[in-house]
């Protein structure tokens, strides 16, 4: 392969050589060596397309295609809907892998972490680049597990379109709703793929109806299945009125026939398809005025005469406007329906230039990129994934990090072609790049060419904001747009095997935090222990496992604990005086504060100042006052948990001349703590929304178990032959629930959890918790 590349480079002298790193995707290197023996790793990877034999593409067209030919898409779904299997088939049919990987065998391209291969789930999103019929597709396979929701969020932030995958036997599930809301938040056009059409209980009609009812979306049926469950053998293209049948003798699904539907051979199917096509035309005409005019003027008498191209163009516009979603179907595992899905991605999802990013006008043609993912590679150091919005990135380029306010240099520029990394000379707007050499860049950082470029963009944004009154804050937010990081709900202590290994543990945690911003690490001020805070049991378990495998540290985890919060129930005042003499300097501060509960939910304290506090006094001491209030609210009087939903009002402040700001901050903090201790206190516990899918026969024991766990059942829905129990349950009572549920239902039930809110505990449960924490029970 390398010899082919050398020949190619010699015959095109002006083009730099290409370096192929024959390493499976960016995370696999270290972990593959430590994989358990039972995981088969014998895969054949193909070379770069277009670099073998006579079919040689221009390197420039491979690396930098026209922006209209680029598609940045993500694959999102509920856990176990078939995201990774679909991705694997896409890479195979596009010619980038020579064998079909299987999640169960642990040999897929995008699930390459040892933990992913053992568990058969996606943990980290993986980016792969491939070509399909002249289009460049940057595809990101995202996790479906609720503990890794942030992975989905930060990937959607940089995508132009998404493919939502559904299990045809289950329709819309709990995590499907979550990822759909995330896509709504970032205004991402999407298409739906009903996977597992070959599965027992698969129902095309039910799945489409659940999209309409639960997601409040308008499905456009572009395909109809030929058979369902065991009888599924192909699909009908509603737009072109053709049937696509896959060869039953073919092992890989590459061979399929595309035949027009005829009255003689398929009268029933043709009738059904014609009705579906007429309904589709009417639906699109209702949503798109331009298409409606064309239909009324030329084809109102006979819809059959309407060319497929005109209908496809209209569907593209409707998809971009997000007024409806195209729906396709197939079976990734049985290799059916993937090629038409790829055609739909290139046909209906937008190119980067079709997406309207307001902040681009402020940068003109200067570099503007967003770092959306960081990985640590033992050989290369930090690898930073970037979405380029404008300008060009080149190796050895000095870039300015707006968030970190620092300048760094990119040493190498890579493109993640499936499971190989290709070193490239430059990359233009609309692409996703992998950069080497950035030591300080973290997830969500905005990257520009220089500090002056950032200032010029900020000035343009400010001028624009002044024209549209009150838009300045919005401009500033978009300029540094990052990812919202959810608050962790679980925490536990983590200790190294010996004191000498503490620096190594701190380094490992620092690297992991840069990769995963939802992981929080803090130091317990009382015990001096390191506290690990995460999004769930699986999240913390994976972090622990990664520290062991990737950094060689046998760490010890304390018992998992729930992240409670505290609040107060009544208004109280407190006064405090701090009088210290240090050396020949006297520090004297007198403070009076009032703490009161507020109805609106606020994680940080709302700080107010009485009218009697002079502006001059605030000018010199406001930062110290607010620092003191925030530090006091980090540890509540009951459990030492953060205090929320409180307002702190400063009524009076007297400062002796020469008093340091540290003393002011310490006095305010002590005074606020005194006020919180005097008030009636309340513990708030995390309440999880729970969805359990269970067979009818096991419904009673599941409901009885949830009642013991202080569960509050909202409704019980019917999904095909199963029952879906929807309700709320306190996080403290749901720990270890997966094992219990498996036992109760003989392993047939599944469940999904998501943080809903924090609710007040009743006095009996609160007293039990406090006694347990103080060691009385």
Q: How far apart are CA 101 and CA 326, in angstroms?
A: 28
Q: Please indicate if the annotation marks 196 as binding a ligand.
A: yes
> What are the residues facing 281 on neighbouring strands?
none
Tokens 């163009």 correspond to what residue? 313
Neighbours of 541 (CB within 10 A): 16
Q: Is 107 annotated as a binding residue?
A: no
In sequence order, the β-bridge partners of residue 408 are 399
Q: Measured between alpha carbons, how far is residue 378 from residues 28, 329, 382, 433 in Å?
A: 11, 41, 8, 19
CA 19 to chain CA centroid, nearest Å: 31
Residue 624 φ then ψ, to 5°: -65, -40
In 3D space, the residue among 641, 94, 79, 768 whose CA is nearest the CA of residue 418 turns out to be 94
Concatenating the DSSP letter of every residue in 633-651 gives TTS-TTTSPPB-SEEEEEE
Known binding residue 167? Answer is: no
Residue 144 assigned to a binding site = yes
Please give the span between the terminal C-alpha atoms of the chain, in angstroms, as a whole number.
69
273 is in an annotated binding site: no
* DSSP symbols for 535-576: SSHHHHHHHHHHHHHHH----EE---EE--EEEESS-EEEEE
Residue 145 annotated as binding?
yes
141 assigned ligand-binding residue:
yes
User: Do the Cβ atoms of 515 and 376 come closer than 8 Å?
Assistant: yes
Binding residue per annotation — 142? Answer: yes
What's phi and psi for 583, nearest 5 deg?
65, -125
78 carries a ligand binding annotation: yes
Tell me whether residue 77 is annotated as binding. yes
**For 372, phi and psi rounded to 5 degrees?**
-115, -5
Q: How far apart are CA 491 and CA 757, in angstroms?
A: 17
Q: How does DSSP assign 492-534, residue by residue?
A: EEEE-SSGGGHHHHHHHHHHHHHH-TT-EEEE-TTT--EEEEE
143 marked among binding-site residues:
yes
Q: How far is CA 553 from CA 376, 382, 513, 516, in A?
A: 16, 20, 16, 19
Q: Is 133 annotated as a binding residue?
A: no
Q: Give the annotated binding-site residues for GTP.
A: 77-84, 141-145, 195-198
Residues annotated in a binding site? 77-84, 141-145, 195-198
């Amino acid at each position: 392969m390398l010899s082919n590349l050398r020949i190619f480079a010699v015959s095109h002298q002006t083009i730099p050589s290409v370096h192929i790193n024959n390493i499976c995707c960016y995370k696999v290197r270290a972990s593959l060596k430590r994989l358990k023996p039972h995981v088969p790793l014998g895969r054949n990877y193909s070379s770069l397309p277009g670099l073998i034999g006579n079919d040689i593409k221009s390197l420039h067209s491979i690396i930098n295609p026209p922006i209209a030919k680029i598609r940045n898409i993500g694959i999102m779904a509920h856990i176990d809907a078939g995201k990774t299997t679909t991705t694997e088939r896409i890479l195979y049919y596009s010619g980038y892998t020579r064998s079909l990987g299987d999640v169960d065998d642990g040999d897929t391209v995008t699930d390459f972490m040892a933990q992913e291969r053992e568990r058969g789930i996606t943990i980290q999103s993986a980016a792969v680049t491939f070509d399909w019929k002249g289009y460049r597709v940057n595809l990101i396979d995202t996790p479906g597990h609720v503990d890794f929701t942030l992975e989905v969020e930060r990937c959607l932030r940089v995508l132009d379109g998404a493919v939502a995958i559904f299990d045809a036997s289950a329709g819309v599930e709990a995590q499907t709703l979550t990822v759909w809301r995330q896509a709504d938040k970032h205004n991402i056009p999407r298409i739906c793929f009903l996977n597992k059409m070959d599965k027992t209980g698969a129902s095309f009609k039910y799945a489409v109806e659940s999209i309409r009812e639960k997601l409040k979306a308008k499905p456009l049926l572009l395909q109809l299945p030929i058979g369902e469950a065991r009888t599924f053998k192909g699909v009908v293209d509603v737009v072109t009125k053709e049937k696509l049948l896959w060869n039953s003798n073919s092992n890989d699904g590459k061979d399929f026939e595309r035949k027009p539907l005829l009255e003689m051979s398929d009268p029933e199917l043709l009738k059904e398809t014609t009705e579906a096509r007429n309904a589709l035309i009417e639906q699109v005409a209702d949503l798109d005025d331009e298409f409606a005019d064309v239909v009324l003027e030329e084809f109102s008498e006979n819809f059959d005469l309407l060319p497929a191209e005109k209908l496809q163009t209209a569907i593209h516009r409707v998809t971009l406007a997000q007024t409806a979603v195209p729906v396709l179907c197939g079976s990734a595992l049985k290799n059916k329906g993937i090629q038409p899905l790829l055609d739909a991605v290139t046909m209906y999802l937008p190119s980067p230039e079709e997406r309207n990013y307001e902040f681009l006008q402020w940068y003109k043609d200067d570099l503007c990129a967003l770092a959306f993912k960081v990985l640590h590679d033992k050989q290369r150091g930090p690898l930073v994934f970037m979405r380029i919005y404008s300008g060009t990135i080149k190796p050895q380029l000095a870039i300015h990090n707006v968030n970190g306010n620092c300048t760094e240099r990119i040493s190498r520029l890579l493109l993640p072609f499936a499971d190989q990394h290709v070193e490239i000379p430059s990359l233009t707007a609309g692409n996703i790049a992998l950069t080497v050499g950035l030591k300080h860049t973290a997830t969500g950082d905005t990257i520009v060419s220089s500090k002056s470029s950032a200032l010029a963009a900020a000035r343009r944004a400010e001028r624009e904001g002044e024209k549209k009154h009150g838009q300045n804050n919005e401009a500033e937010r978009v300029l540094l747009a990052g990812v919202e990081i959810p608050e962790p709900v679980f925490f536990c202590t983590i200790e190294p095997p010996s004191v000498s290994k503490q620096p190594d543990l701190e380094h490992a945690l620092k690297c992991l935090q840069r990769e995963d911003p939802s992981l929080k690490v803090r130091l317990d001020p009382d015990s001096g222990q390191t506290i690990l805070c995460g999004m769930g049991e699986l999240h913390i378990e994976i972090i622990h496992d990664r520290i062991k495998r990737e950094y060689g540290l046998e760490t010890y985890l304390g018992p998992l604990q729930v992240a409670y919060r505290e609040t107060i129930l009544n208004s109280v005042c407190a006064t405090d005086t701090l009088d210290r003499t240090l050396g020949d300097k006297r520090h004297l501060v007198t403070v009076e504060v009032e703490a009161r509960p507020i109805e609106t939910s606020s994680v940080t304290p709302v700080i107010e100042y009485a009218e009697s506090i002079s502006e001059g006094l605030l000018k010199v001491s406001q930062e110290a006052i607010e620092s003191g209030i925030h530090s006091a609210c980090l540890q509540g009087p009951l459990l030492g948990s953060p205090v929320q939903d409180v307002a702190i009002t400063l009524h009076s402040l007297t400062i002796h001349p020469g008093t340091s700001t540290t003393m002011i901050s310490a006095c305010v903090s002590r005074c606020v703590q005194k006020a919180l201790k005097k008030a009636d206190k309340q513990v708030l516990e995390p309440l999880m929304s729970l969805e359990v899918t269970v067979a009818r026969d096991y419904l009673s024991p599941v409901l009885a178990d949830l009642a013991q766990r202080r569960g509050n059942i909202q409704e019980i829905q019917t999904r095909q032959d199963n029952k879906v129990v929807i309700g709320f349950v306190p996080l403290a009572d749901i720990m270890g629930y997966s094992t219990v549920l498996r036992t109760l239902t003989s392993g047939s039930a599944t469940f999904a959890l998501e943080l809903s809110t924090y609710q007040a505990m009743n006095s009996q449960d609160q007293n039990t918790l406090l006694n347990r924490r103080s060691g009385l029970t």
